[in-house]
Amino acid sequence: MASESFNAAAHLVDRQVEAGLGDRVALTGPAGTLTYARLAAEVAALAGGLRELGVRPEERVLIVMSDRPETVVTILAVMRAGAVAVPVSTMYHAAELAALFRDSRGRVVAATPEFAPAVRAAVAGAPEVTTLVLTGPPADGAVAWDDLLAATPAPPYDSWRDSPALWLYTSGTTGAPKAAMHRHGAIQDVHETYGRQVLGVRPGDRCLSVARLFFAYGLGNSMIFPLAAGATAVLDPAPPTPAGVLARVAEHRPTLFFAGPAFYAALLAAGAPSDAPSDAFASVRLGVSAGEALPAGIHRRFTARFGVDVLDGLGSTEALHIFISNRPGQARPGTSGTVVPGYEARLLDEQGAPAADGEPGHLYVRGESIATGYWCRAAATRQVFQGEWLRTGDTYVREPDGFYRCLGRSNDLIKAGGIWVSPMEVEARLLEHPSVGECAVVANLDADGLERPVACVVPAPGRVVDAAELVAFCRDGLAAFKRPREVLVVAELPKTATGKIRRGVVRGLAADLLGKPAP
């Protein structure tokens, strides 16, 4: 029996034009502004150009582009044509891009000019890529993006909710990046669950995201949620910095602001109050944090300084966006909140039995937006996608009233003196101290080969870290066995492209500084 037609690009754009919102601004920012009518026209034209280029339904098209209207047009046009959009990190070097190009088996790559050198070098190492499409001025051997826009507009391909629409590569913190495969229907699902029922995105909203479009988090913030609601996305092609983001906030007055914990910390450390005045975020009705758990200290300090209600939440590339979240007016610092409507969560102990409230367990989630699996990764797919349930790889505690508190990645817990220690709990305590800007707590082996917590600390601007003082500070606020046995001062913490701390690298760094092996 044939499935009902559903094309995510038409759902996000054509539907708004048909509803009479064609003159409303869909996308804006330093790189240009598009109304919904203009966006719909460009998406249809580019979809036609891609079809004339020979792009076939369900074929992958790789996208290496900064956050600008052309990027949203390209992602939507690929899906409109029935092909699979594959936004790729613009932070990767040529060798990393080449590996993804080869892995995806894509023939067409679209890029913006600033990434053309890396993309050309990557294409040289990916023989299946036959066509490079570049925005901007014509370039040797490349197809001009503007020329594709001159094609006859294409109607939405007759895809279904279960048709492949989007691949998103994981950040690769636990190995080589893997492509999580998402359906057309999942794009509607994440808006209906988190975008509508938690954020309450409405046509008058303006969304500004620090996370880029090639992240699942950023794609929801800057494309799915605003377009599904008839709202406006503010796009900035420049790499995000506190100064740059504050300038965008001042100019465009966003109502919804999305970032990760590291960027919220950076905004707090943005220098003199004149650089980030207390009313800088006066237009923002809700802030959102995801990517990793937001420490309670950063949460409270940001809200106290800027008056913004911040909703910390948990999502993943495999789930496409956030599935556990705090709620407006009910945010509880130090927690990820409660389960988003439309999802279910459960915690299982080491034996696979349900974990009681207050007891740690491995977190599993299920919902309609979960990816169908990883491309060409059978073993990883079977381990992570278990029937209807997604094993997130996180260890959580559920409080009796339904709030979930993160203890960290399941393989990051430290067993000190025979008792499990959550690095995030120790980090949250350290971040309450005014001398600490950032920190990561990892395991290191003592002379007897036993694990012990060690803290790597980045000093707050203008502050000096006293290691003994921090150890005593932790002892005063935590059980003694949780205190770090060593405090190491570092200039910066190694992070992934998504801003998450690379704990494996931190463990190696701590081992080198202490001259003792990592676990």
- Dump pLDDT digits (tens) for 202-220: 999 999 999 999 999 999 9
Q: Residue 286 belongs to what H/E stretch?
A: strand 286-289
Residue 519 clears pLDDT 70, i.e. is over it: no
Contact status, residue 209 vs residue 258, Cβ threshold 8 Å: yes
75 token code pair: 């992602």
Q: Give the model's confidence band at 433: pLDDT under 50 very low, under 70 low, under 90 confident, else very high.
A: very high
Q: Give the model's confidence band at 273: pLDDT under 50 very low, under 70 low, under 90 confident, else very high.
A: low
CA of residue 348 relative to chain centroid, distance: 25
Reported pTM: 0.85
pLDDT for 518: 61
Distance CA 154, CA 160 (A): 17
Instruction: Report the relative pairing of strands 25-28 and 232-234 from DSSP bridges.
Output: parallel
pLDDT for 479: 74
Give me the mean pLDDT over the 21-37 stretch: 98
Distance CA 95, CA 123 (A): 10
pLDDT for 276: 78
Give me the mean pLDDT over the 426-440 stretch: 92
Contact status, residue 8 vs residue 165, Cβ threshold 8 Å: yes
419-458 burial, b at 16+ Cβ within 10 Å, e below that, comes to eebbbbbbbbbbbbbebbbbbbbbbbbeeeeebbbbbbbb
pLDDT for 418: 58
**Burial class, 414, CB count within 10 angstroms (exposed 0-12 / middle 13-18 / buried 19+):** buried
pLDDT for 271: 61
pLDDT for 172: 46
Pick the CATH number of 414-514 from 3.30.300.30, 3.40.50.1110, 3.40.190.290, 3.40.50.1000: 3.30.300.30
Residue 107 clears pLDDT 90, i.e. is over it: yes
pLDDT for 2: 56
490-508 burial, b at 16+ Cβ within 10 Å, e below that, comes to beebebbbbbbbbbebbbe
Contact status, residue 229 vs residue 195, Cβ threshold 8 Å: yes
Q: Which residues 6+ apart lie within 8 Å of 140 measured at CB? A: none
CA of residue 129 relative to chain centroid, distance: 27
Q: Which residues 6+ apart lie within 8 Å of 324 measured at CB? A: 313, 314, 315, 336, 337, 338, 339, 340, 343, 345, 365, 404
The percent of residues in the chain predicted with pLDDT above 70, rounded, is 95
Distance CA 167, CA 85 (A): 6
Contact status, residue 441 vs residue 453, Cβ threshold 8 Å: yes
Give me the mean pLDDT over the 318-339 stretch: 96
Contact status, residue 453 vs residue 466, Cβ threshold 8 Å: no
Contact status, residue 513 vs residue 494, Cβ threshold 8 Å: no
Give first-to-last CA distance, the chain, whole Å. Answer: 54
Instruction: Report the relative pairing of strands 486-489 and 451-459 from DSSP bridges.
Output: parallel
**Would you tell me how many other CB atoms lie within 10 Å of the CB of residue 21?**
17
Residue 23 clears pLDDT 60, i.e. is over it: yes
Distance CA 257, CA 287 (A): 5
- Fill in the DSSP letter of residue 501: B
Q: Give the model's confidence band at 443: pLDDT under 50 very low, under 70 low, under 90 confident, else very high.
A: confident
Distance CA 225, CA 506 (A): 35
Closest C-alpha to 426, from 295, 288, 514: 295
Q: State pLDDT tens for residues 133-192.
A: 999 887 888 999 999 999 999 999 999 999 999 999 986 444 578 999 999 999 999 999
Please provide the average confidence, as pLDDT, over all residues in the chain. 92
Q: Which residue has the higher pLDDT, 412 or 268?
A: 268
pLDDT for 448: 59
Q: State pLDDT tens for residues 449-501.
A: 667 899 999 999 889 999 999 999 998 888 777 899 999 999 999 987 667 78
- Tell me where in the chain the CATH 3.40.50.980 domain(s) lie: 8-14+34-181
DSSP secondary structure string, 392-421? EEEEEEE-TTS-EEEEEETTT-EEETTEEE
Query: What angle (nearest 5°) sits at the alpha carbon of residue 291, between those of residues 505 and 495?
Result: 25
Distance CA 414, CA 195 (A): 35
Q: At what angle do helices 94-104 and 116-124 cross, to 10 degrees?
A: 60
Pick the CATH number of 8-14+34-181 from 3.40.50.280, 3.40.50.720, 3.40.50.980, 3.30.300.30: 3.40.50.980
Give the Å distances, CA to CA, from 147 to 48, 84, 133, 138, 152.
Answer: 11, 21, 10, 9, 11
pLDDT for 411: 73
213 token code pair: 């479009």
Give me the mean pLDDT over the 226-249 stretch: 96
Give me the mean pLDDT over the 247-254 stretch: 96
Give me the mean pLDDT over the 354-373 stretch: 96
Give me the mean pLDDT over the 251-259 stretch: 97
- Tell me where in the chain the CATH 3.30.300.30 domain(s) lie: 414-514
Residue 444 clears pLDDT 90, i.e. is over it: no
pLDDT for 1: 46
Contact status, residue 469 vs residue 477, Cβ threshold 8 Å: no
Contact status, residue 396 vs residue 363, Cβ threshold 8 Å: yes
Q: Indicate the length of the chain as a whole number.
A: 519
Give me the mean pLDDT over the 229-240 stretch: 97
Q: State pLDDT tens for residues 365-375.
A: 999 999 999 99
Distance CA 107, CA 54 (A): 10
The percent of residues in the chain predicted with pLDDT above 90, rounded, is 76
Q: Is 287 helix (H, G, I), strand (E, B) or coil?
A: strand
Q: Which residues 6+ apart lie within 8 Å of 150 measured at CB? A: 45, 49
Closest C-alpha to 54, from 158, 133, 124, 167: 133
What are the E-state strand segments in 290-410? 310-315, 322-325, 338-339, 343-348, 360-367, 385-386, 389-398, 404-409
Residue 442 clears pLDDT 70, i.e. is over it: yes
pLDDT for 92: 84
